[in-house]
Amino acid sequence: MTKSTKTILWVFFLIVALVQLFPLIWLIDFSFLSSNEFYSSSVLKWPSDPQWQNYINAWVDGKFLRYFINSAFVTSVTILLTVILSLTLGYAFTRMQWKLRPIFFTIILLGIMIPIHATLLPNFAIFKALGLTNSYLGLILPYTAVSVPLGTFILTGFMRSIPKAMEESAVVDGANIYRIVFQIIAPLTAPALVTVIVTTFLNCWNEFIMASTFLSKDALKTLPFSVMNFAGQYSSDYGSQFAVMVLTSIPAIVIYAIFNEQITKGVTAGAVKG
Amino acid sequence: MQKVFNNKMAIFLFVFPGILLFSLTFLVPIVLSAYYSFRDTLSPGTPSAFIGFANYTELLFHDSRFWLALRNAVLLGLGFILIQHPIAIFFAIMLDRLGGKAEKWFRTIFFIPCVISVVVISKMWLSLLDPTFGAFNKMLDSLGLGMLKHAWLGDSSTALISMLFILIWAGFGWGLLFYYAGLKGIPDDLYEAASLDGASGFRLHWRITVPLLSPVITVQITLAMITALKQMETVFLTTNGGPGDSTQFLAVYLYNKAFSASQYGYANAISILFIIVCLLATYLSNKLTRSDATEF
C-alpha cells in the first residue's frame, strides 16, 4: 500500500472512531453541565462552570462504592467457578472416555442456545422458595450456569488442538489425572481461558435483568443499579445522571484497557481454533 | 494412558459439579416452567388450576403480540445481517490492511462500546435520541435538517429502526473482532498468488477474503439471529416494547406478563415457546448456512 493510501485510510478511521465514540464524548461533556444548560442548542458545550457536584451526587447517591464492591465480589467468584467447571468439563468431554459423554455434551451445549430470559421466571420461583433471592449466591449460581456452556465450548475446541503427547509423557513421569489437568492442560489452554474469563467478566459485570429480578435488598445490589437509582429523586437532574453513567463505565473500560491485548489474542485463538 | 482416561472417579469429579449446577439453574427451571405453562397461575406460589394447552392456544392463535415480537426479532436479525455484518467485514479488512500500531489502536477504540454496561447504553441513547435535549436532533438542526427532527424512540414508525441503530452501535466491536480474527487465519500467500493472477482491490477481497471467511460468516449469521431473538435489556430499559408494541420482543413480553400483568402461567408458556423458537432458529440457520458455504 502506498503512503498516501495509508494516510487516507488513517484519516478515515480517525473520523469513524470519533463518530463511534461521539455518544460517550457527549456523555462525559454533559456530565459537567448543570441541568438547565442541557437545553441549549449546541451539540457539545464547553462547561463554563464544571459541575463537580454532579460527580459527588453520583458517588454518594449512586452508592457507587457499595455496588462496585458487590459487583467485584459476584463477578470474581463467578469467573473462578466458571473457569474451574469449564476446564474440568472440557477435559472430560475431549479426553476422558465414558459412555454418557455425547449426551452430557449436548445438554451443556443447549445452554448456549437457550436464552437466560426463559429461565428467569421459574428461577425466580425456585430462588424465592429456597431463600436465595437477596443473596450473593442467587446471582453467582445463575451467572455461573450461564457462563459454563460457552466456556466449555471454547475450551473443548481449544483442547482438541493440544497434542496428546504432553499428557502421555506426564503419565510416564507418574503424574495423576488431576496434576495433568491443573498443571499441564490449564497453562496450555491459557489463551482460551482468557477468552472465557473476559466473556464471563463482560456478561456478569454488566448484567442487569437477573440482578433486578432476584435482588431487592439495597446492600447487595450491583453496579448497574447505580444508574437506576437516579430514576426517581434525580429524574430531572440530568447532569448527575450522566455523571453516574460515566462513573459506572470507568471500571470496565480500565479493565479492558489493561487486558486489551489478551482479549484480542484470546478471541483470535478461540475463533480460529474453536 | 487408557487407564488415566478411564478413571471413573476423575470423570465423576470433573463432570458432576458442572452438570449439577447447570441442571439446577437451567434444566429444572425449564421443566418447572413447562409445568406452570399448563396452569392459570397469577404469580409464583399462588394456587392455580390445570388448564391444559389453553395458554398455548391463546398464544398461538389469538395473541397478535406474540407474532409481532417474532416479526420484530426477524427484522432485527435481518438488520444485523444486512447492515452490521457487511460493515464489520469491511472494517476488519481495512484494519488488517492498515497494519502497525494504528491497527491496534483503532481495534481497541472500536471495541469500547462493547464493554459498557447495557444500563448505561440504554440510558445514554435514550438521552441522545431525546426529542428536546438529545444530541441527535440538535445535530440535525445544525445541519439545517431540522424538518427531520423526531421523537426517535417515542414514535412507533421509527422506534424499531432506532433500536437496531443502538444495537449495531453497541455490538459492532464484537462483529469486527470476530471477522478480524477470521482474517488473521487466512494465509498471506493466497493473496500473493491472486495478485500475481491480476486480481486486486475489491475483486481480490470479493473472490478470496469473503469465501475464506465463510465459516466465520456462517457462525456470525446464526449468532445474529439468536442475538435478535434474545433481545431484552436494551429494549426493556428504553422503550419497554412500545410505543404500541413496535419494539416488542419475546423476552420483554414474557417479563412484563409475569411481573407487571400478573399472568405468571401465561408468561411461562411464552418462555417455553421462546426456547423452542431459539432452538429451531439455531437449527435452521445452521442447516441453511452450512449447505451453501463454500468448501476449501
For the stretch A215-269, pLDDT in tens is 999 999 999 999 988 876 677 788 899 999 999 999 999 988 888 887 777 766 6
B232 and A88 within 8 Å at the Cβ level: the answer is no
Q: Which of B14, B123, B232 sits opposite A245 (nearest CB)?
A: B123
A126 and B32 within 8 Å at the Cβ level: the answer is yes
Distance from CA of B32 to the nearest CA of A (A): 6
Statement: residue B206 has pLDDT above 80: no
Q: Find residues 64-123 of chain A whose CB sits inside 8 Å of chain B.
A: 85-86, 88-89, 91-92, 95-98, 104, 107-108, 110-111, 113-115, 117-123
Residues ≥6 apart with Cβ < 8 Å to A271? B178, B181, B182, B185, B216
Kindly identify which residue of chain A lies nearest to residue B143, measuring between CA atoms: A43
Structure confidence at residue A271 (pLDDT): 53
Q: Find residues 8-37 of chain B whose CB sits inside 8 Å of chain A.
A: 8, 10-11, 13-15, 17-19, 21-22, 24-30, 32-33, 36
Check: CB of residue A249 under 8 Å from CB of residue A31: no
Structure confidence at residue B295 (pLDDT): 39
* Closest to A195 (Cα-Cα) out of A78, A76, A79: A79
Check: CB of residue A96 under 8 Å from CB of residue B10: yes
Give whole-number Cα distances, A132 to A125, A135, A141, B43, in Å: 10, 6, 10, 18
Q: Which three cell numbers stand for residue B93?
A: 479488512
Structure confidence at residue B296 (pLDDT): 37
Residues of A whose CB is below 8 A from B7? 96, 177
Least confident window among A39-53, B41-55, B173-187, B218-232 = A39-53
d(CA B171, CA B114): 6
B8 and A98 within 8 Å at the Cβ level: the answer is yes
**For residues B174-188, average pLDDT:** 85
Structure confidence at residue A274 (pLDDT): 39
Distance from CA of B22 to the nearest CA of A (A): 5
Structure confidence at residue A1 (pLDDT): 66
Structure confidence at residue A13 (pLDDT): 92
Which DSSP letter does residue A39 get? G
Q: Which of A107, A113, A178 sits opposite B279 (nearest CB)?
A: A113
Q: Which residues pair with B50 in a beta bridge?
A: B39
Which DSSP letter does residue B39 get? B
Residues of B whose CB is below 8 A from A111? 22, 26
Task: Report cis status (omega within 30 of 0) of the bond before A224.
Answer: no
Task: Return left, alpha or beta for B149; rule: phi > 0 is left, psi -120 to 50 is alpha, else beta.
Answer: beta
**For residues B90-113, average pLDDT:** 88
Integer-rounded Cα Rg, in Å, for chain A is: 23
Structure confidence at residue B113 (pLDDT): 94
Q: Which residues pair with B39 in a beta bridge?
A: B50
pLDDT tens digits, B25-46: 989 999 999 999 999 989 887 8
Statement: residue B284 has pLDDT above 90: no
Structure confidence at residue B46 (pLDDT): 83
Structure confidence at residue B97 (pLDDT): 83
- In chain A, what is the greatest distance between 2 CA atoms, to the nearest angstrom? 75
Confidence of residue B294 (pLDDT cuts 50, 70, 90): very low
Q: Which of A141, A228, A245 sits opposite B25 (nearest CB)?
A: A141
Which residues of chain A register pLDDT less than 70?
Answer: 1, 232-233, 267-274
Residues of A whose CB is below 8 A from B282? 113
Task: Return left, alpha or beta for A141; rule: phi > 0 is left, psi -120 to 50 is alpha, else beta.
Answer: alpha
Residues of A whose CB is below 8 A from B218? none
B36 and A122 within 8 Å at the Cβ level: the answer is yes
B30 and A89 within 8 Å at the Cβ level: the answer is no
Give yes or no for B200 touching A (CB within 8 A).
no
Q: Which three cell numbers stand for residue A112?
A: 448456549
Residues of B whose CB is below 8 A from A28? none
d(CA A249, CA A254): 9
Residues of A whose CB is below 8 A from B25? 119, 123, 141-142, 145
Residues of A whose CB is below 8 A from B185? 271-272
d(CA B232, CA B208): 37
Residues of B whose CB is below 8 A from A120? 254-255, 271
What's the CA dihedral at A213, A217, A222, A226 to 10 degrees? 100
Distance from CA of B48 to the nearest CA of A (A): 14
Distance from CA of A162 to the nearest CA of B (A): 15
Structure confidence at residue A191 (pLDDT): 84
Kindly identify which residue of chain A lies nearest to residue B256, measuring between CA atoms: A121
Give yes or no for B128 touching A (CB within 8 A).
yes
Q: Find residues 5-34 of chain A whose CB sits inside 8 Å of chain B.
A: 6, 9-10, 12-13, 16-17, 20-24, 26-27, 30
Per DSSP, helices labelled H in B143-263 are: 159-184, 188-196, 201-204, 210-230, 233-238, 250-259
What's the CA dihedral at A58, A61, A66, A71 to 10 degrees? -60
Confidence of residue B293 (pLDDT cuts 50, 70, 90): very low
B15 and A9 within 8 Å at the Cβ level: the answer is no
Kindly identify which residue of chain B lies nearest to residue A274, measuring between CA atoms: B216
Residues ≥6 apart with Cβ < 8 Å to A189? A87, A90, A155, A158, A159, A162
Give whole-number Cα distances, B213 to A146, A268, B32, B272, B294, in Å: 29, 13, 42, 35, 10
Q: Which of B15, B25, B185 sits opposite A272 (nearest CB)?
A: B185
d(CA B2, CA B6): 6
Residues of A whose CB is below 8 A from B184? 268, 272
Q: Find residues 50-89 of chain B whose CB sits inside 8 Å of chain A.
A: none
Quote the percentage of chain B above a pLDDT of 70. 96
Kindly identify which residue of chain A lies nearest to residue B178, measuring between CA atoms: A271
Kindly identify which residue of chain B lies nearest to residue A31, measuring between CA atoms: B124
Structure confidence at residue A268 (pLDDT): 66
Residues ≥6 apart with Cβ < 8 Å to B29? A119, A122, A123, A126
